[in-house]
Structure 1
Amino acid sequence: MDLSEAIYGRRATRAYAAAPVAKNVLESLIDAAIQAPSAVNEQPWDFTIIQNIALLDRISAAAKAHMIETMPRGAFPEHLHETLESPAFHIFYHAPALIVISARVGGWAVENATLAAENLMLAAHGQGLGSCWIGFAQRWLETKDGKQVLGVPDDVVPVAPIIIGYPTAPTPPVPRHPPQLRWID
């Protein structure tokens, strides 16, 4: 797959087969992630891989409860509240793997982890896998309890919770708005 095909073909996947993703495949995605640039070449990444379904279920429930408790009504579309309050909703869409990209706390922790995340998601697409950054999990993973589950030290911040798995069907493209361009000569 060429780069343009990967960029234009990668989509957020929200329907996964139960088939596990092999350890060596997940390691290859992380290897792609660490090829990303980082500020001052610090390479501050930290990766947590979770494939334990019971643990993913537990994190999903905790993250949902945290979001319901902390997400003010009116600040987000009402359907997000309804989705989170549904007992049937699983924030990880029952994907067989979660990779949380964290980074050492510093001036560019979020940017460094985000650059690695995009590489990881493009590499996943290139290997026929689906991926989705799960924003609903982010805030809970940043808590003391979330960091404890991940086993990350205090000087590391979880940034990018990305689910990985085999899509049950192709995800169609989403129409894109035209870019806002400002040419300054």
Structure 2
Amino acid sequence: MELTEAIYGRRATRAYSEAPVPKDVIESLIDAAIQAPSAINEQPWDFAIVQDRQLLDKISTMAKAHMIETMPSGSFPEHLHESLESPSFHIFYHAPALITISAREGAWAIENATLAAENLMLAAHEKGLGSCWIGFAQRWLETPEGKQALGIPDDFVPVAPIIIGYSATPIASVPRRPPHLRWIG
């Protein structure tokens, strides 16, 4: 697959088959992730991989409750509140794997983890896998209980909880708005 094809073809996947993702495939995605640039070449990444269905279900339940409890009223569209309050809504869309990318706390932790996350998602697409960054999980994973659930070291910040799996349905292209450009000089 050409890089341009991966960039233009990767989309958020929210429906997964039950097929597990082999360990060697996950390791290859992480290898692609660590090829990302990092501030002053620190390479400060930590990857927590969860494939245990019961733990994924527990994290989904805890993260939903945390979001409901801590979300300011009106901060999200109403349909998101309704989803979070629905017992049948699983924030990981029943994907077979969650890879959470954390980075050592510091001035560029967010940037470092985000660069690795984009590489990981592009590599997943190239291998025929779907992926989706799950923002609903982030705030709970930052809590002491969330970090403990994934064994994230105290001096690391969880940034990118990304689900991975084989898509249950084809993902349609999403039109993009034209960019706002300002040519200076």
The TM-score by the shorter chain falls in which range? over 0.9
2:128 pairs with 1:128: yes
Whole-angstrom CA distance in 1 between matches of 2:68 and 2:97: 24
Would you identify which runs of 4 or more consecutive aligned residues in structure 1 move more than 2 Å? none
Distance apart, 1:175 and its partner CA: 1.2
The DSSP-based 3-state class of the residue aligned with 1:99 is: strand
Distance apart, 1:2 and its partner CA: 0.1
Alignment-derived partner of residue 93 in structure 1: 93
Alignment-derived partner of residue 143 in structure 2: 143
Aligned identity (percent) is 78
Aligned runs of 1:57-136 on 2, under 5 Å?
A: 57-136=57-136
Whole-angstrom CA distance in 1 between matches of 2:139 and 2:164: 19
Instruction: Write out per-residue CA displacement over residues 4-46 of structure 1, whole angstroms, 9 at most, x where no aligned residue.
Output: 0000000000000001000000000000000000000000000
The DSSP-based 3-state class of the residue aligned with 1:161 is: strand
Alignment-derived partner of residue 181 in structure 1: 181
Distance apart, 1:168 and its partner CA: 0.7
2:16 pairs with 1:11: no
Structure 2, unaligned runs of 5 or more: none
The TM-score with structure 2 as length reference comes to 0.99
Alignment-derived partner of residue 162 in structure 2: 162
Alignment-derived partner of residue 33 in structure 1: 33
Alignment-derived partner of residue 46 in structure 1: 46
Instruction: Write out per-residue CA displacement over residues 38-70 of structure 1, whole angstroms, 9 at most, x where no aligned residue.
Output: 000000000000000000000000000000001
Whole-angstrom CA distance in 2 between matches of 1:80 and 1:141: 19
RMSD between aligned alpha carbons? 0.5
Give the number of aligned pairs: 185
The DSSP-based 3-state class of the residue aligned with 2:172 is: coil
The TM-score with structure 1 as length reference comes to 0.99
Whole-angstrom CA distance in 1 between matches of 2:176 and 2:130: 20
Structure 1, unaligned runs of 5 or more: none
